[in-house]
Structure 1
Amino acid sequence: MIAQRSTRPGVGMATFLGVCLALPGMTLAKAGFPEEHPGGRFVERPAPILIVHDTIKNFPKWSRAEPCEIPPVWRKKFPGPDRFVAVLNGAAYCDQETGLVWETSPASGSFDWTGAINHCATREVGARKGWSLPKREQLASLVDTNSGLCTGGGLCVPDGHPFQNVQSASYWSATTTSGTPTFAWLVNFFFGSVLVSHLDGNGLAWCTRADQSYGWQNLAAMK
C-alpha cells in the first residue's frame, strides 16, 4: 500500500500518519512532506513520498525473506558454509556477502579472453541463461588468502565453499586494463593474486549471474 501526500490545503500530515499507524499491520517505512508555496498552496516536491508497508497482505518485509532474497550484507563476513546458499537446485550458489550468483562447477577448458566472454554469454546453468564473465572485483571477491585451504597449499577460496572443479589456475575477468585495452585482468586462485594477460592468452572462465544487470531482486525466481 503506497499513500501519497495530499496536495489539498488543510490536510494535516500528523493526522494522516496517526490514522495509518493505528491500523493493524501498518508500519511506516519512509516519510516525505509537502512544500508550502508562497501563495499559501501546497505543491508537490518530486521525490519524497509517504510509503506504508502492509505486512498483513504480504507486502515485502525483509525480516521474512530467505537468505539471498535480500540485499547483500556488505558489512558482515559469513563463514564459508553459511556464506553460500544453493540456488537453481544446486547448479549455482548465491554469495550472501556480495549478492552474486556463481555456477557451482565452472568449465574445465581454457579460452582466450573473447572466448571466455562468449562462453559465459551463451552458458546455460540450471536451465537458466543470462550468465556473464565477472568483473575483476567480482571475481576477486571469491579469493580468501587467509583460509585454511590457501595456507595449506590449496585453493585460495573460502573454507567450506561448495564449488566443484575450480582449478589452481588463472580465471579471466571481463575487465580490460585502462589505457591498454588489449590486456585484461585475471584472478589466480592458487596464489590468490590478480594479474594481467594479453587478450590472446589462455585462461579459465567462471561465470556469474545476478550482478548489476540482473539484481538481487530476481534471486527468488532462481530457486
Structure 2
Amino acid sequence: VNFADGRIKAYPKTGNATSSVYYARFVRGGDGYGDSTFTDGGDGTVTDDATGLVWMQVDSGDEQVADAVAATSRADGTLDWQEALAFCADLSYAGVDDWRLPDAKELQGLVDYSRSPDTTGSAAIDPVFATTPITDEGGADGFGAYWTSTSFSPGLDAYIVNFGEALGLVGGEYVDAHGAGSVRTDPKQGEPQEGAGPQGDIRRVYDFARCVRDDGAGGGAPSPL
C-alpha cells in the first residue's frame, strides 16, 4: 500500500534489494476483520454480510443491462468516469433504482486475493459475481478494471480496482505490472494511452462499473482498504 497516494500494488517477495525492502505496519487482534461472506439474493443482487452493502451481481458489460449502456460512447459496457457515475445513478435493476457507483474502499472490499487470472484462471472476486471477460491490449483473455467514485487529487483521475491483470507497457512488452486486486487510477476522460501511467501503466479511460446500494442487514466490520 502506498500511503502517499492510496494506490495498492504487488511486488515480488524477494528480489532486487533496492526495490523489495519496504516499511511494515503491524497489527494484532481483529480475527476475521475484512473477511466477507456473500449472500446471493436470487434476484440479480449479492449482499456483503460484513458490510450490509448490496451489489449488482453483474457488471456494466452484461447483457442484462445492455439497454442502460446503449447510449454511451462505447456501448460495450466500458464507460468513462462520468458515464459510470450516470450509469449507476440512473439504473433501474432488480426492482430498485437507488444504485450508485461505489467508493474506492467499498469496491476494494470485494477483492479476493486468493483468486487471479494466473492462479485460478478467474477474476479476483468471489465467483458469486459475474465478471465480463475482455481481450487485453496484448491480445490475451482477461478481466478488466472497475471505476470507483473516489477522485484522485487534483481531480483529473479517479481510482480504479483491477480484478484482472493490471497491465503496463515495459520495454515494449505487456506485463502484469501491479497484479490482480491492485488499486490504481485512470483519467476521467480522454483517449486510452499505453505506457502513460506510473510503471508504464495502461490507461484505458473506459472501464466497467459494478453498482452498489445501501440496503442490507450488515452490522459487521467494514471491508479494509
TM-score by length of 1: 0.54
**Match for residue 184 of structure 1?**
158
**Match for residue 196 of structure 1?**
185
Larger helix proportion of the pair: 1
Q: What is the CA distance between 1:205 and its match in structure 2?
A: 0.6
Q: How far, CA to CA, are the matches of 1:100 and 1:86 in structure 2?
A: 12
- Deviation string for 1:15-59 (max 9, x for gaps)? xxxxxxxxxxxxxxxxxxxxxxxxxxxxxxxxxxxxxxxxxxxxx
Amino acid at match of 1:84: F
Q: How far, CA to CA, are the matches of 1:185 and 1:148 in structure 2?
A: 20
Matched, 1:113 2:86: no
Q: What is the CA distance between 1:163 and its match in structure 2?
A: 1.5
Question: Residues 138, 76 of structure 1: CA spacing in aligned structure 2 closer, same or farther, 3 A cutoff?
Answer: closer
**Match for residue 154 of structure 1?**
122
Amino acid at match of 1:204: F
Q: How far, CA to CA, are the matches of 1:111 and 1:148 in structure 2?
A: 23
Amino acid at match of 1:163: F
Q: What is the CA distance between 1:148 and its match in structure 2?
A: 7.2
Question: Which structure 1 residue ranges, 4+ long, deviate > 3 Å from structure 2?
Answer: 73-76, 147-150, 214-217
Pick the aligned partner of 2:212 from 188, 208, 211. 208
Question: Residues 100, 74 of structure 1: CA spacing in aligned structure 2 closer, same or farther, 3 A cutoff?
Answer: farther
Amino acid at match of 2:186: S
Question: Residues 135, 120 of structure 1: CA spacing in aligned structure 2 closer, same or farther, 3 A cutoff?
Answer: same
Pick the aligned partner of 2:57 from 97, 104, 118. 104
Matched, 1:84 2:38: yes
CA contact (8 A) 1:74 1:97 kept: no
Q: How far, CA to CA, are the matches of 2:34 and 2:79 in structure 1?
A: 35
**Match for residue 75 of structure 1?**
33
- Deviation string for 1:98-124 (max 9, x for gaps)? 221111111211111000000000111
Q: How far, CA to CA, are the matches of 1:113 and 1:163 in structure 2?
A: 22
Question: Residues 136, 119 of structure 1: CA spacing in aligned structure 2 closer, same or farther, 3 A cutoff?
Answer: same
- Deviation string for 1:150-171 (max 9, x for gaps)? 622421113xx31224441010
- Deviation string for 1:84-139 (max 9, x for gaps)? 1133x421010112221111111211111000000000111111010000000111
**Match for residue 146 of structure 2?**
171
Q: What is the CA distance between 1:76 and its match in structure 2?
A: 6.6
Q: How far, CA to CA, are the matches of 1:138 and 1:102 in structure 2?
A: 10
Question: Residues 122, 150 of structure 1: CA spacing in aligned structure 2 closer, same or farther, 3 A cutoff?
Answer: farther
Question: Residues 144, 215 of structure 1: CA spacing in aligned structure 2 closer, same or farther, 3 A cutoff?
Answer: closer
Q: What is the CA distance between 1:176 and its match in structure 2?
A: 0.2
Q: How far, CA to CA, are the matches of 2:182 and 2:207 in structure 1?
A: 14
Equivalent pairs: percent with the same residue? 28
Tell me, which stretches of 5 or more residues in structure 1 are unaligned? 1-72, 218-223
Alignment length (residue pairs):
134
Tell me, which stretches of 5 or more residues in structure 2 are unaligned? 1-30, 62-76, 134-142, 165-179, 190-204, 219-225
Amino acid at match of 2:96: R
Ranked by relative contact order (alpha carbons within 8 Å, sequence separation 6 or more), the top structure is: 2
